[in-house]
Homo-oligomer: A and B are copies of this chain.
Amino acid sequence: MRDTPFLVVDVELLEQNLAGMAAHARRLGLALRPHAKTHKTVEIARRQLAHGAVGLTVATVAEAEIFADHGIDDLFIAYPVWAAGPRAERLRALADRVRLRVGVDSIEGVRMLAASRAVVTVAVEIDSGHARSGVAPAEAAAVASVALDAGLGVDGVFTFPGHSYAPDRRAAAAADEQRALQTARDGMLAQGIPCPLVSGGSTPSVEHTAPGLLTELRPGVYPLLDAQQWELGSADPGRIALTAHATVVSRRGRRVIVDAGNKALGADRLAFATGFGRLPDHPEARIVALSEHHATIELPETAAVPALGTVLRLAPNHVCSAMNLADRVVAVHPDGREEEWAVAARGANT
């Protein structure tokens, strides 16, 4: 028996999710390079590779270092890394021991990277509608050209269609992604720059990915899933493999408070969310308030109000945030065996 709150990975559901995405990528004929920022966990990374992933995507040099320390040797930092200060030396050391691809989205960034003398290839980040980092599709060739002139290998282009995080925009985001990557790739080819890599994908949009253009998919959330994917319509609640176990500590009327707050679940709440997470076993319940150590759960008239001391399972809104709050998770195997998995890259932000 463990004191709540703690995070539980259902290994059977995890395996089903891993197998499902691997099959989807195979059907499309695409390489799968899952984003490991979701789980930050060596055990899950190894399972992704066992299901045929070609390598991992990560967000930071620190994440890459940790997965490299555990023998994972093909990594893509899908982020416009600014290779200054100690980071330049870290990149150089990392590139000496793994195959490393790095994102770029500016000429200045390319020049910093080249100056670091890290032996990496680059991929140019394209903004396909999420309006975050990335250049406009038509600008990709200019950045790639500077990279080639600076002596860096250019793999191609990538994007994150993050505007897929809206229930009615999943298919449209996939179409935007396709269009933006096509423009970027065509622009490179028109300049005589080869573009073997065309990389995209997000968990909400990936079922709408069309075959023919993309060569690589980088979804992150799919192994574990969360309340956001449930409410987006991209995952059935029965597939959510990561839940927080929490105890009812206070009760009043149709509301109970459990001891998992935003320091366990994360505070993420996108506009479409019905609350601060969901309860897979009580789909009628809503998490109406969340503070650091309190989640306030409201039950409708039709549902029984759980007694004090009851342990409930909560799906966080955003599993990437919840995993990044935990030093370890409890993995429950199909035979009931429990194991602790370290969230090895927790907090690896640099």
Interface residues of A (CB under 8 A from B): 1-6, 37, 59-61, 79-82, 84-87, 90, 105-106, 108-109, 112, 127, 131-134, 162, 247-252, 257, 259-260, 262-264, 266-269, 289, 291-294, 296, 308-309, 318, 320-321, 324-327, 347, 349-350
**Residues of chain B with a CB closer than 8 A to A325's CB:** 324-325, 347
Q: Pick the contact of A259 from B82, B85, B108, B294 — CB < 8 Å?
A: B82
Residue among A2, A90, A249, A263 with max Cβ neighbours from chain B (10 Å): A263
Q: Are A3 and B79 in contact (CB under 8 A)?
A: no
Given contacts A82-B308, A247-B84, contact A262 B326 (CB under 8 A): no
Query: Which residues of chain B are within 8 angstroms of A350 by Cβ–Cβ distance?
Result: 2-6
Complex CA–CA separation, A87 to B5 (angstroms): 11
Mostly, the A contact residues are loop
A250 & B133 in contact (Cβ 8 Å cutoff): yes
* B264 A132 Cβ-Cβ under 8 A: no
A-B pairs with the 7 shortest C-beta distances?
A133-B250, A3-B350, A267-B267, A267-B268, A1-B85, A108-B308, A82-B249
Beyond the given A131-B289, A263-B324, A267-B267, please list 13 additional residue pairs across the A-B interface where CB-CB is below 8 A.
A1-B86, A82-B308, A105-B250, A106-B250, A106-B308, A108-B308, A109-B249, A132-B250, A262-B266, A267-B268, A267-B321, A325-B325, A326-B347
Contact in complex: B247, A3 (CB < 8 Å): no
Residues of B with C-beta under 8 A to A264: 349
A3 with B80, Cβ < 8 A, contacts A132-B291, A321-B263 known: no
Tell me the complex Cα distance, A250–B78, Å.
13
Complex: chain B residue closest to A132, CB-CB: B294
For A262, the chain B residues whose CB sits under 8 A away are 266-268, 321
* A/B interface sample: 7 pairs, CB < 8 A: A1-B85, A80-B250, A106-B251, A109-B249, A109-B250, A132-B289, A133-B257
Contact residue among B6, B82, B291 (Cβ-Cβ distance under 8 Å from A309):
B82
Q: Given the interface contacts A347-B325, A347-B326, A349-B264, does A291 sit within 8 Å of B105 by beta carbon?
A: no
Asked if residues B81 and A249 are in contact (CB atoms below 8 Å), the reply is yes
Residues in B whose Cβ lies below 8 Å from that of A268: 262, 267
Cβ-defined contact, B82 with A132, below 8 A: no
Most chain B CB within a 10 A radius of its CB, from A320, A326, A347: A347
Report B-chain residues with C-beta under 8 Å of the C-beta of A90: 3
When distances are taken between beta carbons in the complex, the residues of chain B under 8 Å from A105 are 250
The CA of A112 and the CA of B307, in the complex, are separated in Å by 14
How far does the alpha carbon of A277 sit from the alpha carbon of B2 in the complex, in Å?
A: 35
A207 vs B37: C-alpha distance when bound (angstroms): 42
How far is A326 from B347 in the complex, measured between Cα atoms in Å?
7
